[in-house]
Amino acid sequence: MLKFCLTVDCEGVETLKQISPRWNTIDKIKGKINYALRNIRYNKDGFKLVYNEIKNQKFPCTFMLVGKKYKPIEKLSFIEWGYHSLNHLPLTLISKEKLENEVKNIYNVKSFTAPLWMIEDISNPLRVFKVLKKNKYKFVVYKGKDDGIKHFHKLEITKPEIKYDIKLVHLSNCFEGNSSKEHIEKIKMEILENINKDAVYLLSTHDFTHKNNKNLRIIISFIKHLQTQGKIKAIKLSEA
């Protein structure tokens, strides 16, 4: 049976002003435009909107928190708190001292998502994982290897794997509050096509993209319907 895991990267609109090391000139211009229009395109209160929907629906979810912006607010059986670094910096490109500070497990959580999924550089693949292990993280959202600012990332629907003594759960797809209807339908079709697979479908989103909860409600309703039929199981990341 396929397992479904929803994670929310909670970083707020402030991270829009950060320049990704992978961006070319055109991407940087687009990034500046997105930040300038952040109050029009995005939602500074997206976290509250998403969190309240998850809470009201009692739907399993793992919230990945950027430490300078968010902290766990309450304990609920179906909600898991994870970490998304302190300042949302690219972990494979920063100094050892900054890395230690970025991933310090200040909330004593089990799950971690690296900004930009930059976590395993081929020049020193153990570097970040050693620090994560020292901080007692057990589960990591994974998308693939990096080579400096280049990457070999891909989406997969597969079983988690143990690597460097940490369980890596591969990202299957992403959606946002402003994703198109066609993209949401594509996700639903992917799930149906893999419904009998012994694997995890890990779906991720960002808090600030949700100006309304239409897409989130569609996804939750879809998964709940399949779960009622005994065809899928919704889980938190640490249950992968």
Q: How confident is the prediction along the chain (240 residues), in pLDDT tens digits per residue? A: 999 999 999 999 988 889 899 899 998 999 999 999 999 999 999 999 999 999 999 999 999 999 999 999 999 999 999 999 999 999 999 999 999 999 999 999 999 999 999 999 999 999 999 999 999 999 999 999 999 999 999 999 999 999 989 999 999 999 999 999 999 999 999 999 999 999 999 999 999 999 999 999 999 999 999 999 999 999 999 999
List the beta bridge partners of residue 202: 5, 171
* pTM: predicted TM-score of the whole model, two decimal places: 0.96
Could you give the domains of the chain?
2-239 (3.20.20.370)
- Model pLDDT, residue 19: 87
Question: Can you tell me whether residue 145 is helix, strand or coil?
Answer: strand
Residue bearing tokens 């970083």: 11
Q: Which residues lie below 8 Å from residue 136, measured CB to CB, with a gap of 6+?
A: 105, 108, 110
DSSP 199-230: SEEEEEEEGGG-SSSHHHHHHHHHHHHHHHTT
232 token code pair: 């899928």
Q: At what angle do helices 46-57 and 214-228 cross, to 10 degrees?
A: 20
